[in-house]
Structure 1
């Protein structure tokens, strides 16, 4: 039996799509691409003004959404309609040393980055299973596969999302519902502001959006971006710890997160994070 026979195909024309964290960055680019393909898109975001503006600009519906609240997720998906495709994209990435990170910042990451996908899947899956088809994309990160000095708790939440996604995928596959995890490297968004990697390792939001939309066709369990990094990550995971530690040190990767956090380009993002942390 082929993969596409096992997972009933979803025609993007007229498909009901919900995107969390949809007002900016990857979420906005993804929602815009789905809308351009003829889908009926609803975006959700904490920022009421930005979500309204984005919705008008890309031709979608918009709603204020707090992914840390199951009730808020329920309301959001009810407004979207019988969801064919859910993109759990909302996420935050504070940077800094693990021991210096305030407890409320750590809690905010766990609530948004991990509880967000949990709430989203718990709310969307029953209807998808009842209808016998559906697709969920959980946007994780390359940090879900490898160490991320300067972003330890963020890294932990993304590892958790990868494990959550593959486990739920195995549970719901027999019902015609698929779960894919998309794991990009550094993306040029507010979340990645101030950080820098070689151009071969960096992405634009539109790159990730194309991979998310394409996953509706192929339904792969995991998508690493850039694609060539998938094999490199697999090799890294079997290397001795000392080799990985040396690579991070020699490549200067251990210090990049701290340098990014202190940059002027990240000041506005840090301000928004502080406000969100007060909610945790």
Structure 2
């Protein structure tokens, strides 16, 4: 794969796994993250450029993309992966958490998409990949803020795709299910289900870049299940959710296990 790819939120988790998978396929990769120390360490481990980027700042995001192109060449793909996941009862979510979540998860993706399109549309080529979540199409108690942010990403990505689809640029959304990263610290998996690994999502992104499509759910079979469940009556969907424990997963969690993650997403590091 002879593409130049920039990835945000790539110091850890899905972003780092994606960078590793793309580099293994021969892509030229540049990673960015708001945690400058972590992204530099990740970059050293991969042997790629690692740069600081605050996706909520146009100045910072522009500087990141400029530096990526200076070091690696014209960008073929921009992956907007940076995101945070506060959890808990909706009445317990602070206004500050709400603003921060929407600023990173929604405005950060919108900004990254617009800045990428500014570079790609004039030449009629490129691919923007926005990492959303199954939480953007299925909704869960204790996850209202994150659900809202990822639903916005799904809607924004699809509308943007339709707007530019005849201009040579692809815009895609990736919707992973529960994935074993810091985002799910202190929670448990749905009963009878296994979380994805970051490498599973990375593999799906690599495939998507090789064969662009509007939207990919990870794992793929879950996408079929979600579409099928939409045909069921509400009472059936609720019964299934209770059986899987989805009605309590993000309400009954271990706050101590999330302390480090919560502190980091609130301080922007």
Which band: TM-score by shorter chain? over 0.9
Give me the CA root mean square deviation: 1.5
Shift of 1:252: 2.1
| Of 76, 92, 97, the match for 2:64 | 76
Say if 1:19 and 1:89, in contact at 8 Å, map to a contact too: yes
The separation in 2 between residues aligned to 1:180 and 1:201, in whole angstroms, is: 25
The separation in 2 between residues aligned to 1:243 and 1:134, in whole angstroms, is: 42
Say if 1:194 and 1:266, in contact at 8 Å, map to a contact too: yes
Shift of 1:90: 0.3
Residue equivalent to 2:128: 136
Residue equivalent to 1:246: 239
Say if 2:100 and 2:266, in contact at 8 Å, map to a contact too: no
Residue equivalent to 1:58: 46
Say if 2:192 and 2:244, in contact at 8 Å, map to a contact too: no
Q: Map 1:113-262 to 2 at 5 A.
A: 113-197=105-189, 198=191, 200-260=193-253, 262=254
Please state whether the residue corresponding to 2:87 is helix, strand or coil: coil
Please state whether the residue corresponding to 1:255 is helix, strand or coil: coil
The separation in 2 between residues aligned to 1:72 and 1:148, in whole angstroms, is: 33
- Deviation by residue 1:62-95 (Cα, 9 ceiling, x = unmatched): 1111111111111111111121001110000011
Is residue 81 of structure 2 the alignment partner of residue 89 of structure 1? yes
Query: Normalization by structure 2: what TM-score?
Result: 0.93
Say if 2:178 and 2:184, in contact at 8 Å, map to a contact too: yes
The separation in 2 between residues aligned to 1:114 and 1:254, in whole angstroms, is: 25
The separation in 2 between residues aligned to 1:161 and 1:151, in whole angstroms, is: 15
Is residue 24 of structure 2 the alignment partner of residue 36 of structure 1? yes
Shift of 1:99: 1.0
Q: How many matched pairs? A: 264
In structure 2, relative to structure 1, the CA distance for the partners of 1:199 and 1:210 (3 Å cut) is farther
- Deviation by residue 1:121-170 (Cα, 9 ceiling, x = unmatched): 11011221122211111111110111121110100111111111111111
Residue equivalent to 1:45: 33
Shift of 1:47: 0.7
The separation in 1 between residues aligned to 2:86 and 2:180, in whole angstroms, is: 15
Shift of 1:41: 1.2
For structure 1, which segment, 217-226 or 21-30, has the greater mean C-alpha deviation from structure 2 after superposition?
A: 217-226
The separation in 1 between residues aligned to 2:106 and 2:123, in whole angstroms, is: 26
- Deviation by residue 1:98-131 (Cα, 9 ceiling, x = unmatched): 1110000011110011011100011011221122
Structure 1 spans left out of the alignment, 5+ residues: 1-11
The separation in 1 between residues aligned to 2:132 and 2:82, in whole angstroms, is: 10
The separation in 2 between residues aligned to 1:226 and 1:112, in whole angstroms, is: 25
